[in-house]
Structure formats: structure tokens, C-alpha cells
Structure 1
């Protein structure tokens, strides 16, 4: 069932995004007076079609669901078939260069507009996200030396208000790419003042990060991550080591063998690393503190021995609902779409100069996997995924590769500068080179997909 859901989620997402992209071309062509012969959802052989409107435009569904196209009246595709005199004025190549630019650019623009609409709707509805509270497990980390402490909540980064962990990650990623310094205003709990909280300003240098660090969890390289709840025990499973030791639901573990426990995640890691080893747990229960000795049971997981106390731990982070009003949601969605597009171009640029690995190039297998995962997570996750892929589709089509929209825009830009269109010979050579480059990119993407799948 998971495979079927993954395939369906992928086809629905890709089909929607490609249809919106092609509809952008179609709408711009109609507004510019160009005759549209066919609008196809899918590629290859047409399996269903109907003609509508004054121009009898053919609306078709084709066999291969991965793609789509808009076929306009174009003298280059007519061959020996003459174009009726009354239609010559509506032929694509006879349009001004600016009209051709509008028609070609309309596809990627439609993808960006779709992303803005999706994000605006999500912000208006509200997105549950973890709060921007940080976990600093090591006193020797870059984060700790900069002044960050475990439990600090990020309020703003370089003056921009941060409402969630995702927003904090996003802003820090952009500053990391620029190898700059991020000024963080954090809220810190302090026990010896009336309201228990104070604000601190911390300058976090991101210059130590290299390109390889940015490919994974770059924040862990700085020494911090998303905060987790305290080590409070949940349900105690019957006849397990926890019950036999006398532990109870709601007990908080303060220390193990005299070492303070940072949070529930740290406690879980300690238990997992101690199969069959008696541990002295310092417990807080109803204002009272005492020690209990518990011995984790030994289980074999993936060929390795791990410890288990047979108790449920609450490891989910504290959540908040990120919600924005009408106009603000559109502005925020526009900014997110713009920032995501710029980040994509920056990453592509760093790949070209070798600063970022080509391992970051993903193909349809990885996209399909994410489609399936997000569809199982819920509507919000799936729509967020669609917005992100819509931006990626828009960015990809703007690359100056001749077989893509960006390549045609490059031709027309040269025409604006020189006052004459590029020669047919140049166009043919560039088309072949562009197709070869696109095939090479697709090969790298498929290779990366297969490596990820096997690993």
C-alpha cells in the first residue's frame, strides 16, 4: 500500500505542477495573440482529446504522465504545410521578442505563483512546528563558546523575528552560505529573578562551516540542535526492568551514575548504550529526590546489543502554531518563495564551482519518496512539499540550458541586445549541447537516487 500511495502522491504532485506550468505558457500565448493548437497533460501518444473554442484548441491527455506541453502555431514545426494567411499574424515566431519572452517566462512564473498561493494558504490556516528552542549538549561546542546555552529559545536572527525551529534553520542556512555572523536574540530561563526569563544577544559565527557541512545537519557541526523534553518517564511496561526497579509514570531522571541528564533523548541514548549494566538513576518524584538502581534488558537490534528499560519516553519537541493574517500571509509566502529560489540558485552556483557536492542533485525517485512520506504525514506536509517542488520546477526551467525555458530566454535576450535572432545553425548546435547537458544532469540525479535508495 505504501508503494501505491507513493506513486499516486508523486503523479498527483507532478501532474498538477506541470499542468500549472504549461497553463502559464498557454495563458500568456493567448493574451499575446498566439494561436494554440494543443494543450497536453502528459507526453507521448495522445490517448484522449477534445477540441474547444474559436481556435478549436485540442485539449489532450497523453500516455506518459511525466510532463506536458503547449503546442503553438510555429512555422518551424509546420514543415511543408502552409500556414493560412489569416493565421500568419498569430504565428509564434512573428511575435515581437518581448511577447516571446513573456510567453516563455510565464511557465516558471506560474510555478512561483502556485508556491505563493500554497504557502499563503498554509500560513493563513496555521502550521504546527517545533518552537525554536535549542539543545546544547557539549560545553566545548562552537555554540556554547559563542554564548548559547541549553534551553535557549531563539526570538530573532539579525532582527528578523523567528517563530519556529524551521524558520530558525532557514535563516541560519542562508547566513551560513554567506559565511557571515548571525546575531541571535534568545530567551533564557533564569531561576533567581522574578519572571524567570531574560533576553540575551549572542553573535554566532558561521564562518567555520565548509561546503561539506552544509550538505547535512549543519547545526550539529556548530554543536546544537532541536531541544527535547526533560527525561520524564511515560508508561511503564509490565514486567520490564523499569517496573522491577520500582520506577513510576511521571518520574523525572535527573542523573545517571552521578552524571546529569540533559533531556529525554540523552537518557534514551545512555540506556541504549548500557545493555545489562546496572545504572544508578537519581529520580525526582513529587518534590522528593532519591536513587534507584535499574539494569537495562539486552536486545539485539540490527546485529548490535542495545539496552531497554521497557518504558515510554516523551521525546516529541514542544510545538507552536505558526499562523499569519491575510495580507501578511501573502507577503510571507512571497518572501519564502523568493528566498527559496535564491537559495536554489546559490546552491547550483556552488555546485558549478565545486563548493557543494553533486550528491545534492536529486531525481524523480527521491522526489517520489518524499511525496509518499509527506502524503502519509498529512495534508499540510504534502502541500508544503508541493510548494517546494513547484519552486524547484520554476528554478530548473530558468536555467540557461537551450532545451529549457531558460535557454530560450537566453536566445531572446541576445536578440534584444543584438537586434537580430540567433542563427538556425547556432540554435541547432546549442540544442544538441543543451540536451546532452540535461541528460548528464538526469544521469547524476538517477545515480544519486539509486545510491540513496540502496543506503
Structure 2
């Protein structure tokens, strides 16, 4: 059943994104007076086809619906004869500004779609975890700022006290800290706990670029706080031998409170072969019972023989949630800002991968996209719309990269033509197109390898 959901969600996602992207090209081409011969959803043999009465465009749905294209009238297309009366409507005969607009329209349509979808999510509301912090590991940015765990962040501002913005959820905190870390700024987080409200100076000026990945919050010491429970116990594991069972709530470890998974996992890893006294709740809230577990030594590095502790229990964090909802105008503004932030983050991440500052493992292919599409669809329409927004932004950014065969490559040709007054020669276009095709094949191969590695846990 999960496979069917993944396939269906993936098909819907790809279908929507491709149609929107290609319709951007199509609509602007029509506005610029270019004759569009075919609008195809998918590749291969057409399964459904019809011709528009007014435009003469052939609309097709093809056998392989993983992509699509818009075919415009063009004198460089040697496979078709162009009547002299149609020459003014050929793409290659248009002013360079019109050709730039047509090429840009596809990626821009993806960004507009993302803004619209994010706006719908923000306007209708979504349930998200509150920005409550777990105890940060010693030496991290969060620990140096003074956080002790249990604080809920409510605002973020610059060090002068200006530009203060509300922090309404954990994802809100994540994006605002990511933006500050990319700009290497110091910020002030206002947070409260049971004792009062405090301001924390968070210094992000020296955060290495390589740390700004999907796990950057944990690297800074900002882990989500909440109640930690045992979701499952492996038979024969250290947890099973100690008597832990699914449903137990972990309250203390070695006498210290447990308020997050990362700190507890780190504590267990540091106590391989040594007894750890746990305080747990089972059944009756507020009534603690004590269990002693001895983590098994697990080899982390075969070359050095380094080991870490492991108890063999799956953990689940239960967090307080809040319903986040904005007005229509504010939702559009936030949708545009979120789209911009993700687009810039994607570009920076790609640049860091090219320079070796980030791992190529961050590239994902169709298998991973299908997996996330299925999971987000099962969580509800709001997560699925957010997922569609993310992929739409990624598609727009990818197509703007200056790689021949992509929109960005054609855009580069036309910008050179606009600057020099001369079109890039056919010979150079052919050479660059072959180089661009090699780049796309290499990137696709890496993304597919990453997909398979994740699938088989390689």
C-alpha cells in the first residue's frame, strides 16, 4: 500500500511541476508572438493528443510522463518545413529580450507555484512543534549562548535590538537561524521557561560553511526538546536485558534530566560497557522507577577500533505543538520569503558541493523524491503541498544553472548575445551542449547512486 501511495504521490508531483514549468514557457511564448507547435506532457509515443482550434498547438500526453517539453516554431529545426508566412512567428527570429523572457518563464513559473502553495499552507494553518530546546552539548554555540534546556524561543533580532521577528514554531526558528548563519551574524534570541524570560546572545559569525547542511541545528547545539519515550526494543539488546519496554518514558540518566534525544544518545555512546542508571515512568505518570542498563560496545571505526555505547532501543520524542496560521497578505509575503530563502540555500549548497565544502551525498534523485512524496502525502495535504513547493523551487533553481541543455544554458547564450550584439556560434553551442549533457549525466548518476545507497543503507 505504501508503494502505491509513493508512486501516486510521485506521479502527481512530477505531473504538476512539469505542467507548470512548461506552461510558463508556453504562455510567455504566446505573448511574445511565437508559434507553439506542441505542448507535450511526457516523452515517447503520444497516448492522448488533440489540437487547439485557435492556436493550432498540438497538446499531447505521452507514454513516459516523467518530464515534458514545449516545441516552438524555429528555423534551426531541420525536421520541419516552415512556410514563408510563418517566419515572423519563429522563435529564432524574435528579439533577444523576448527569447530571454521565454526561457526565464519556466523557472519563474516554478517559483510562483511555490509561493502560491506556501501561501495556502500559511493561510489555512499548519500544526508544528514549538521552538522548545533540549539541553545543548557542552561547547556548542547554544551552550556558549547560555541555554540550559527547556527554554522556548519566542523572538529573534539582531544584536542592536532592532529587526525583531516572532518565532512561532521550530521550523520558523530553523529558517531564521539558517539565514543568520549564512550571513555570519550575531543574533539575540528571546526565550522563556518556568522561571522567566531571558535574552541570549547567539554568535554565528564563525560557523563553518560545511556545517550548514540539513543537520546544522544539531551541530550548533539546538536540538528539539520534549518528552523522550521508547518506541521499540530490539530482542536480546542491552535495553531488553535491563527491562526497558516500548512505551516507557525516559526521565533521567545518571541523575540528570532527559529532555531530548540527541543529548541522551550522546550520553549512551560515551558509556559503552559502563552501567547507566535510568529513571523511567511506566503506566503511572509522575511515578519513577529505576533501571540500570549497560550499553553494548559498538565499533564505530574499524581502522582505529573506536567504540561507542548502544542500548538497542528506538526512541521517539513527543513535543508540544502549536497551530500556526497567518492572514492572507502576510501568508503571501511569508510564502515569497520562504521561497527566496530556499532558493538561495539551494544555490549556496550547490556551490559548496562544487567547491568540496559539502558532500555530494546531498544530491537526491527520483527514488528519494518518490519516498518523500509518499511520506508527505500520508502526513496530510499541508505537508504534501510544502513538499511540492520544495521540489518546485529545486526544479526552478536547477534549470537556472548555466549548464547548456538547461534553461540556464540558453539564458547564458542570449545574455552574451545581448551584451555583444552577436549570437553564440552554432559550433560553440554544439560543443557546450555536449559538455552540458555530460554534466547532467554525471549529476544524474550521482543522484541515482545516492538514492540506491539510502535504499540499501550502503
User: Which TM-score applies when normalising by structure 1?
Assistant: 0.83
Q: 2:354 aligns with which of 327, 352, 355?
A: 352
CA–CA distance in 2 between the matches of 1:291 and 1:267?
A: 20
Q: Which residue of 1 aligns with 2:238?
A: none
1:154 and 2:156 aligned = no
Q: Give 1:254 shift.
A: 6.2
1:19-54 CA-partner distances (Å, limit 9, x unpaired): 110011111111111111111100122122011122
Q: What is the 5 A alignment of 1:14-33?
A: 14-33=14-33
CA–CA distance in 2 between the matches of 1:233 and 1:368?
A: 29
CA–CA distance in 2 between the matches of 1:421 and 1:201?
A: 58
CA–CA distance in 2 between the matches of 1:290 and 1:404?
A: 62
Q: What is the 5 A alignment of 1:274-353?
A: 281=279, 292-293=289-290, 306=311, 315-353=317-355
**Kindly tell me: are residues 173 and 271 of structure 1, through their superposed partners in 2, closer, same or farther at Cα, counting changes over 3 Å?**
closer
119-128 vs 428-437, which moves further: 428-437
CA–CA distance in 2 between the matches of 1:48 and 1:233?
A: 53
Q: Give 1:186 shift.
A: 1.9
CA–CA distance in 2 between the matches of 1:124 and 1:423?
A: 49
Q: Which residue of 2 aligns with 1:131?
A: 130
Q: 1:421 aligns with which of 398, 403, 423?
A: 423
Q: Which residue of 2 aligns with 1:55?
A: 55
- Contact 2:223–2:262 (Cα < 8 Å) also in 1: no
Q: Give 1:91 shift.
A: 0.8
1:168 and 2:173 aligned = yes
Q: Give 1:290 shift.
A: 8.1
Q: 1:185 aligns with which of 190, 208, 217?
A: 190
1:205 and 2:203 aligned = yes
Between the two proteins, the alignment pairs up a number of residues equal to: 425
Q: Which residue of 2 aligns with 1:237?
A: none
CA–CA distance in 1 between the matches of 2:47 and 2:248?
A: 65
**Kindly tell me: are residues 430 and 265 of structure 1, through their superposed partners in 2, closer, same or farther at Cα, counting changes over 3 Å?**
closer
User: Which TM-score applies when normalising by structure 2?
Assistant: 0.83
Q: Which residue of 2 aligns with 1:383?
A: 385
Q: Give 1:157 shift.
A: 2.4
Secondary structure at the counterpart of residue 60 of structure 2: strand
Q: Give 1:205 shift.
A: 2.1
- Tell me which stretches of 4 or more aligned residues in structure 1 moved more than 4 Å: 231-234, 250-257, 264-275, 277-287, 289-299, 304-308
Q: Which residue of 2 aligns with 1:399?
A: 401
**Kindly tell me: are residues 314 and 438 of structure 1, through their superposed partners in 2, closer, same or farther at Cα, counting changes over 3 Å?**
closer
Tell me how large the CA RMSD over aligned residues is.
3.5
Q: Which residue of 2 aligns with 1:247?
A: none
**Kindly tell me: are residues 218 and 64 of structure 1, through their superposed partners in 2, closer, same or farther at Cα, counting changes over 3 Å?**
same
**Kindly tell me: are residues 274 and 155 of structure 1, through their superposed partners in 2, closer, same or farther at Cα, counting changes over 3 Å?**
same
Higher Rg of the two aligned structures: 1
Q: What is the 5 A alignment of 1:29-108?
A: 29-79=29-79, 81-108=80-107
- Structure 1: where are the runs of 5+ without partners? 191-196, 235-249
Q: Give 1:227 shift.
A: 1.0
Q: Which residue of 2 aligns with 1:263?
A: 259
Secondary structure at the counterpart of residue 82 of structure 2: coil
- Structure 2: where are the runs of 5+ without partners? 158-163, 232-246, 297-308
- Contact 1:264–1:314 (Cα < 8 Å) also in 2: no
CA–CA distance in 1 between the matches of 2:336 and 2:391?
A: 15
CA–CA distance in 1 between the matches of 2:374 and 2:332?
A: 27
Q: Which residue of 1 aligns with 2:141?
A: 142
Secondary structure at the counterpart of residue 65 of structure 1: strand
Q: Which residue of 2 aligns with 1:437?
A: 439
Q: Give 1:437 shift.
A: 1.2
- Contact 1:21–1:110 (Cα < 8 Å) also in 2: yes
1:201-241 CA-partner distances (Å, limit 9, x unpaired): 22222345434433342222222301103x7999xxxxxxx
- Contact 1:122–1:380 (Cα < 8 Å) also in 2: yes
